[in-house]
Amino acid sequence: MKTASKVHQLQAPWITSEAFRPFGQVIAATDDGKAFDQEDAQLALEQGTPRFYIMRLQGRGRHFSKITRHQQCTQCLGSLEGKDWLLAVAAPGSSDCPEVGAIAAFRIPGNCFVKLEQGTWHAGPYFDHDTVDFYNLELADTNITDHQTCNLEAQHGITFEIVPQE
């Protein structure tokens, strides 16, 4: 008989560039004509063909038990229509699964996007809306050749609930 996993609540404050720095970048609107600098997404897409697409996600909720990373490229995610969303992350590392205590969560407004560093563990996007469209920039074969997933429930007997903060 399988034992129920423990549910760990992750508080998700509104994202800031400083708090998100160990995991990637927060990219916000800038004036047109601004020269390229460190505030722009620092992309690593040279390992294949970049793929930019809009993915439609439905009924995602706020619970997860698996976390994934892509080590060959950066990934950019952002919602359309100004909808806020949630993302859990852990910094890149050499182990096959992040430490449970190293997982953080953020609430992301619909007026910016995030760029995940290569190897950043991530779970999401999650949200309370019925449906959200997200733009996604990664490599064309990321989800086939560069998709390592850690099952936190199997490894640690734990699932997570992301709790958005106001």
93 is a domain residue: yes
User: Mean pLDDT across the stretch 79-83?
Assistant: 97
pLDDT > 80? residue 4: no
Give the whole-angstrom CA distance, residue 52 versus residue 139: 8
7 is a domain residue: no
Domain that holds residue 65: 13-26+44-164
What are the beta bridge partners of residue 27? 113
Any idea what the CATH number is for the domain that residue 149 is in?
Answer: 2.60.120.480
Contact 28, 111 (CB under 8 A): yes
Q: Mean pLDDT across the chain, nearest whole number?
A: 95
Please state the domain count of the chain.
1
56 is a domain residue: yes
128 is a domain residue: yes
pLDDT digits (tens, 9 = 90+) for 98-122: 999 999 999 999 999 999 999 999 9
Calculate the CA 3 to chain-centre distance: 29
pLDDT digits (tens, 9 = 90+) for 44-70: 999 999 999 999 999 999 999 999 999
Task: Give percent of the chain above pLDDT 70.
Answer: 98
39 is a domain residue: no
144 is a domain residue: yes
Record the tokens describing residue 95, joined without a space: 């182990």
Please name the residue ranges forming H helices in 6-161.
Answer: 17-20, 142-145, 152-156
Give the whole-angstrom CA distance, residue 63 versus residue 9: 9
35 is a domain residue: no
3 is a domain residue: no
pLDDT digits (tens, 9 = 90+) for 18-35: 999 999 999 999 999 999
